Copies of this chain bind each other. A is one copy, B any other.
């Protein structure tokens, strides 16, 4: 069965940095499912219009099309019940919190640290779109929003509960990773692909978890192209 994931790309077609697409790539690997990933640019709205909305990830799984990373997790658990990502009942209810923790606690500090690196990683033809939508969201220019020291301090604070958990367990979800790990790790892949900023010190339990996550599934994360691997691209 053909399986196709539309995956945001940047200045190079192989530079894939969307945190939401990374969630899905880890979720597919968790289930042992192959998928072709198709590079997509922010402004390629036509290419995914068939999904009824205009953002990636979009997964086409046989005759089913699903967008939104969390909805894709739900779809994968329904269609391939083995090795649950989210689980049922309280497990699923609690998984939902990690989505918000990633997007509302972790992302803001990271964003303030790497926004100019992110801008630099984006394909030139997408940069006007990126600047316009983000400046509207932040209520200020990218340059004004850029505040790495403040961002790192926000992130440091936001990581506190994660440190507590990862001090006692290899993965958020226990001895082996599952949905909660992937929901959060997407953000770390996002930062890693576009920036060489050290967001987490190597003495931090979160750092060791990142290393473990990078190694999963044959080095899925570790082998991903980074902006620093592209000659002349990292300013």
Complex partner residue of A89 from B93, B162, B165, B174, CB under 8 angstroms:
B174
Write 15 A-B pairs (CB below 8 A) sorted by A numbering: A87-B89, A90-B174, A90-B179, A93-B171, A93-B180, A94-B97, A96-B169, A97-B97, A97-B162, A97-B165, A99-B164, A100-B163, A103-B161, A103-B164, A105-B157
Interface of A is mostly: helix
* Chain B residue nearest to A93 in the complex (CB): B174
Report whether B160 and A90 are in contact in the complex, using a CB–CB cutoff of 8 Å: no
In the assembly, how many copies of this chain are there? 2
Report whether B164 and A104 are in contact in the complex, using a CB–CB cutoff of 8 Å: yes
Report whether A164 and B94 are in contact in the complex, using a CB–CB cutoff of 8 Å: no
* Chain B residue nearest to A160 in the complex (CB): B104
User: Would you call A33 an interface residue if the criterion is a C-beta within 8 Å of the partner chain's C-beta atoms?
Assistant: no
Docked pose: A103 CA to B167 CA in angstroms: 15
Complex partner residue of A97 from B90, B161, B179, CB under 8 angstroms:
B161
Residues of B near A164 (CB, < 8 A) are 97, 99-100, 103-104
Q: Which of A171-215 contact B (CB under 8 A)?
A: 171-174, 178-180
User: Would you call A98 an interface residue if the criterion is a C-beta within 8 Å of the partner chain's C-beta atoms?
Assistant: yes
User: Would you call A101 an interface residue if the criterion is a C-beta within 8 Å of the partner chain's C-beta atoms?
Assistant: yes
Docked pose: A172 CA to B94 CA in angstroms: 7
What 12 additional pairs, Cβ within 8 angstroms, besides A90-B95, A97-B97, A101-B161?
Answer: A84-B90, A87-B91, A89-B91, A90-B173, A93-B180, A94-B95, A94-B180, A100-B165, A104-B163, A105-B105, A105-B158, A154-B157
Report whether B165 and A105 are in contact in the complex, using a CB–CB cutoff of 8 Å: no
* Chain B residue nearest to A175 in the complex (CB): B93
Residues of B near A163 (CB, < 8 A) are 100, 104
Report whether A100 and B157 are in contact in the complex, using a CB–CB cutoff of 8 Å: no
Docked pose: A105 CA to B164 CA in angstroms: 11
Report whether A90 and B91 are in contact in the complex, using a CB–CB cutoff of 8 Å: yes
Docked pose: A190 CA to B168 CA in angstroms: 27
